Structure formats: structure tokens, C-alpha cells
């Protein structure tokens, strides 16, 4: 695990690369963010952003999406992978929001996790982005980058989340979350990480091990 000093070095660098880290999904309300995050499973944000303007123009709130014709929703989100399952999930999720929370997204990870299509990562991302909650949603990028930079050696996303919550104690975790996502998405990619142009080589576990084996 990295020292506090190295954690500062890591996040100062990430801040230098991404001075204004933000979620790349387009949305106007916490409800629309929740739906966009559900749709982003196994899919890029760019692709989700291509279908959500039409979806949200027709079904802007949980009340409208809860009573939508499933086939119409399927047709709108058809360009996404798993569109049938996703259509079912977002309509059911909207129904549950209307029935249990007056159609509103609540700032509560445990309650959100009970909704259709919502896992822990989605609940963490939505509460961090929509409400500024001190949460970290561990996606594939954060999982990989955390291991490479030795912020965690957790075997599951939940174990990595717990390690990050502890390692980033006292920091703005909702901001650090997006820094790690952007870093993994554009710089420390799964295949061919950009190590030649990375300022973290001296404290990167992955790079150091690679160098040792060469
Ligand atoms: S040195 Fe390479 S593997 Fe390590 S953080 Fe930088 S880009 Fe990622």
C-alpha cells in the first residue's frame, strides 16, 4: 500500500492531467443520471450519450418511464448492448422509485442498491456525482488502476472500495473517484498503458515489476 505522501503525489498528478474531473454522462437530474449509469454497464459513456437525449426527451422523470411501453424503450436504447435487459431494468427501476420514493433518487447507497439494475458501484457513483457523497464506485478502471498503483490489492470491487475509503481518508473521495476513472480510461489503459508519458513510474507497482522482469 502507498504512503500518505505518495497518495498526495498520485492525486496531484491526476489533478494536473484532469483539472476539472467530471462524469462524462449527460444528464439533468439525479434520476436521469441513475438511468444513464444503469445503461452504461458494458458500454461506453459516449454511446450512452447518443441514446439518452431521445430517451429523456420522451421520458424525463421516473413517473413517465414507469409507465412507458417496454418495446418503445427497447427501440430507443437498441444501439446499446443488452438493450432488452436494460430496458426492463430502467422501467422497473422507475416503477420502484415511484412506489417507494415518490419518484425521487435518494442519497442512500443501501436503498438505491435494492432498485432494479442498481448494484453497489452504480449506487456509489450516483450518490457521489448527484449529491457529492463521499463514495467511490469501483468500476473496471478504478479496480485496475488501484492495483497498478498499489492503492489496493483487494480481490473484489468491494474490497478495493474499502481500501480506497481508508487510503483516501480526509480527501474528497467523490472527486478522487472521477480522477481515477479518467486516468484509467485515457492514460493508464488496460492494454498499452501510457507509461512512457507517466510521471508515476517511480511509485507505480505495475511499472516497477515490469522493469524488474525486463
Ligand atoms: S506508470 Fe504506467 S501502469 Fe503505472 S500508473 Fe503510469 S501509466 Fe499506469
- Domain residue ranges in the chain: 4-21+138-212, 30-131
pLDDT reported for residue 214: 79
Tens of pLDDT, residue by residue over 13-37, are 999 999 988 889 999 999 999 999 9
CATH topology of domain 4-21+138-212: Endonuclease Iii, domain 2 (1.10.1670)
Distance 204 CA to ligand 1 centre (A): 6
Which residues does the chain have with pLDDT short of 50?
none
Residue 202, C-alpha cell as written in the block: 517511480
Topology of the domain comprising 30-131: Endonuclease III; domain 1 (1.10.340)
Is 26 designated active site? no
Q: What is the model's pTM?
A: 0.90
Q: Which atom of ligand 1 is nearest to the CA of 201?
A: 1
Check residue 164 and give its pLDDT: 96
Instruction: Compute the distance from residue 171 Cα to the ligand 1 centre, in Å.
Output: 22
In this predicted structure, what is the pLDDT of residue 23? 87
CA distances from 83 to 39, 78, 88, 89 (A): 8, 5, 9, 10
Share of the chain above pLDDT 90, in %: 91
List 134, 139, 150, 163, catalytic entry: 139
**Active-site residue, 69 included:** no
- Measured distance CA(181)–CA(183) in Å, rounded: 5
Measured from the Cα of 193, ligand 1's closest atom is 7
Cell triple for 128: 457521489
Cα of 167 vs centre of ligand 1, distance in Å, is 19
Amino acid at each position: 500500500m502507498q504512503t500518505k505522501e505518495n497518495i498526495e503525489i498520485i492525486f496531484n498528478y491526476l489533478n494536473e492531467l484532469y483539472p476539472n474531473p467530471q462524469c462524462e454522462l449527460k444528464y439533468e437530474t439525479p434520476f436521469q443520471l441513475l438511468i444513464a449509469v444503469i445503461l452504461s454497464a458494458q458500454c461506453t459513456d459516449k454511446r450512452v450519450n447518443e441514446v439518452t437525449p431521445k430517451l429523456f426527451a420522451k421520458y424525463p422523470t421516473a413517473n413517465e418511464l414507469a409507465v412507458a411501453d417496454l418495446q418503445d424503450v427497447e427501440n430507443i436504447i437498441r444501439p446499446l448492448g443488452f438493450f432488452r435487459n436494460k430496458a426492463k431494468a430502467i422501467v422497473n427501476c422507475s416503477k420502484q422509485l415511484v412506489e417507494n420514493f415518490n419518484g425521487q433518487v435518494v442519497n442512500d447507497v443501501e436503498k438505491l442498491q435494492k432498485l432494479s439494475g442498481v448494484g453497489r458501484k452504480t449506487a456509489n457513483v450516483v450518490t457521489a456525482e448527484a449529491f457529492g457523497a463521499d463514495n467511490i464506485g469501483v468500476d473496471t478502471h478504478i479496480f485496475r488502476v488501484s492495483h497498478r498503483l498499489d492503492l489496493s490489492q483487494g480481490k473484489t470491487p468491494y474490497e478495493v472500495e474499502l481500501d480506497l475509503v481508508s487510503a483516501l481518508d480526509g480527501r474528497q473521495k467523490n472527486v478522487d473517484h472521477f480522477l481515477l476513472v479518467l486516468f484509467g480510461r485515457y492514460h493508464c489503459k488496460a492494454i498499452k498503458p501510457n507509461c512512457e508519458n507517466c510521471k508515476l513510474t517511480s511509485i507505480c507497482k505495475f511499472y516497477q515489476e515490469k522493469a524488474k522482469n525486463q
